[in-house]
Amino acid sequence: MTAKPKNNKNNKPAHKIKPKVITPTAKAPKHGARYVAAHGVREVLVDGTPLDIALSGQALFVQLERRDRAFARLIAATVFRRLGQIDKVLAPFIKKTPTDYALAVLRTGAAQILFLDTPAYAAVNGSVALLRRSKKTAHMAGMANAVLRRVTEQGQDLLAKTSTLDNIPTWLLKSWTESYGVEASQKMADMLIQEPPLDLTTKPGIAGPDGEVLPGGTVRLAKAGDVRALSGYDEGNWWVQDVSAALPIRLLGDISGKRILDMCAAPGGKTLQLAAAGANVTALDKSEGRLERVKENLARTGLKADIAVGDAAKWRDPQNTSGGGFDIVILDAPCTATGTYRRRPDVLHNKKPEHIDSLARIQEKLIMAAARHVAPGGTLIYCTCSLQKREGEGQITKFMQNRTDFRLNSLLGIEDLGVAETVTPEGVVRVLPHFMHEKGGMDGFFVASLSCG
């Protein structure tokens, strides 16, 4: 029953479509959180919009109280963590295909009943009320009432016959199984249904909020909450960064005084790591708006970096326009971000196979551009938060065929990454989300280190 993204008039990629802002009428919806969640779910599945934008892009969202905004996010996120299972429970009771929005209302209602311990009457009545608000959907209110009452009565029995593998889109599950095997795919599916912990990277020599300290120094908190309320936020003692995303910089060792280019730098976690380690950093990104966030974090933490706005594929170093001026170049390339599904479960549903094709072409251009900035004897770090091997291992293979002056640095000698299986026999880092599962897992990530000359 998963809706397919529709073609848009401008033929823009689905992940670049700006969400339609839903402006509440003078009479705001009584069930505001449910209203926002249902529209957000529809926006992701029909238009391919990232969930955060699909929610925050609604005018009503900012008018909700904090707890209602959190409830809206929880409902929508639960739908994407459990979409396959929810659809299997709903399927026997849906006789006629509903509209996109009505289906989103059914999914959000079922999520509340099956997984969120919402009183059934509240979930059913709230869902029915959403459909009755519009003449276009009012005729489906009776259907929704009947379907969700059946879910209340029989849902748990039907749910017991499902698997967490049902929540992974078929094309992705096939890809993961081919790349990592059946057992690993099952473990990755199991990670999807869990709320992830919050990881913080601290400035050297400064302790973060009370939490578990992971290998490498990442501080892990069981729950996120409002990060601005955590101790040390205002003082700039730390920043939010998944333990996997912190790995590429940890691999570099002592970088004090080295000139380093952080390509595609926003939102800036690696820039902050590099600056905190004493490097002379240039943070490059084509999005001036996203670089504002980098500047804000630099100001909050009291760290320094040069900011450069430009297309990484075309940018020239003003200090060395002929290229080859950086000791280290970090390329965290744009990718499908499928490895981040623990925190962003919608990425499994707003990405399609064709996105891999277009992003792979961008990655090829960017890694070649990155190589031009590496000084002789310098290092190029290529990384992505994708689980798709074409965006990781495949890119390195192709790059080394094109640039025979680069050699792959084996990372097998790197110690204390925290997970024994992180480094592959080929010497690259391949992190899967179920690694450290007993501690809450980690983002899927790929890292390769290459030397010039």
Q: For position 58, what pLDDT does the model report?
A: 95
Residue 372's pLDDT is 95
Quote the pLDDT of residue 321. Answer: 78
CATH number of the 198-452 domain = 3.40.50.150
- How many angstroms separate the CA atoms of 38 and 354, rounded? 26
Distance CA(284)–CA(248), nearest Å, equals: 17
Which own/partner contact pairs does 213-218 have at CB distance under 8 Å and 24+ positions apart? 214/243, 214/418, 214/436, 214/439, 215/416, 215/417, 215/418, 216/243, 216/246, 216/247, 216/250, 216/416, 216/417, 216/418, 218/243, 218/246
H helix runs in 160-250, sequence order: 170-180, 182-192, 247-250
Q: CA-to-CA distance for 375 and 332, rounded, in angstroms?
A: 19
Cis peptide, bond prior to residue 196, ω within 30 of zero:
no
In the chain, CATH 1.10.940.10 sits at 14-162
Walk along the chain (453 residues) and give the pLDDT tens digit of each residue: 544 444 443 344 444 444 444 444 434 457 899 999 999 999 999 999 999 999 999 999 999 999 999 999 999 999 999 999 999 999 999 999 999 999 999 999 999 999 999 999 999 999 999 999 989 999 999 999 999 999 999 999 999 999 999 999 999 999 999 999 999 999 999 999 999 999 999 999 888 898 999 988 899 999 877 888 899 999 999 999 999 999 999 999 899 999 999 999 999 999 999 999 999 999 999 999 999 999 999 999 999 999 999 999 999 998 887 777 999 999 999 999 999 999 999 999 988 899 999 999 999 999 999 999 999 999 999 999 999 999 999 999 999 999 999 999 998 877 656 677 888 999 999 999 999 999 999 999 999 999 998
Q: What is the CA radius of gyration of the chain?
A: 23
Strand pairing of 219-221 and 198-202? Answer: antiparallel
Separation between Cα atoms, residue 433 and residue 395, nearest integer Å = 21
Number of residues in the chain: 453
| pLDDT at position 14 | 41
User: Which amino acid is present at 195?
Assistant: E
Please give the positions annotated as active site. Answer: 385
On the CB side of 347, CA atoms within 13 Å amount to 19
Q: Where does CATH 3.40.50.150 sit in the chain?
A: 198-452
pLDDT value at position 54?
97
The pLDDT value recorded for residue 441 is: 95
User: What homologous superfamily is domain 14-162 in, according to CATH?
Assistant: NusB-like (1.10.940.10)
Write out the E strands in 235-373.
238-240, 259-263, 280-285, 306-309, 326-332
In the block, which residue shows the tokens 């259907």?
Answer: 143
**Burial zone of 209 (CB within 10 Å; 0-12 exposed, 13-18 middle, 19+ buried):** middle
